[in-house]
Amino acid sequence: MSQYLNDPEYLFSILTALVKKNGGKIEITEEEMKSVSKGDLIGMYYEPETETLILKEVEPKDMLQAADLVRQKQDDIVYEN
């Protein structure tokens, strides 16, 4: 999923979907923009059962925990020749 967060076209598509979902307009105040910091983290998840993309604010400790789970799952993969 992280490769999608580095794709400007994909990010623009997400923004467009959010604006359309909100009736065609989202207003963000200057104060709201100033409240965003580089330490704020957003996770992106795909829920296959509902075919839903989920964007969620996450705590740094949760992000580290998720990264550890992904690494563990990759280590558990058995490749057959």
Tens digits of per-residue pLDDT, 26-78?
A: 999 999 999 999 888 888 888 999 999 999 888 877 666 655 545 554 455 44
The confidence score (pLDDT) of residue 61 equals: 72
Task: Check whether 14 has a pLDDT greater than 90.
Answer: yes
Number of structural domains found in the chain: 1
Asked if residue 63 belongs to a domain, the reply is: yes
The confidence score (pLDDT) of residue 3 equals: 74
Task: Check whether 22 has a pLDDT greater than 70.
Answer: yes
The confidence score (pLDDT) of residue 79 equals: 46
Beta-bridge mates of residue 54: 45
Residue 50's domain comprises 2-76
Asked if residue 47 belongs to a domain, the reply is: yes
**Distance separating alpha carbons of residues 74 and 69, to the nearest angstrom:** 9
Q: What are phi and psi of 69, to 5 degrees?
A: -65, -40
Asked if residue 81 belongs to a domain, the reply is: no
CA distances for 74 relative to 1, 46, 49, 64, 71, angstroms = 15, 18, 22, 15, 5
Asked if residue 8 belongs to a domain, the reply is: yes
Contact 54, 45 (CB under 8 A): yes
Asked if residue 34 belongs to a domain, the reply is: yes
The confidence score (pLDDT) of residue 59 equals: 82
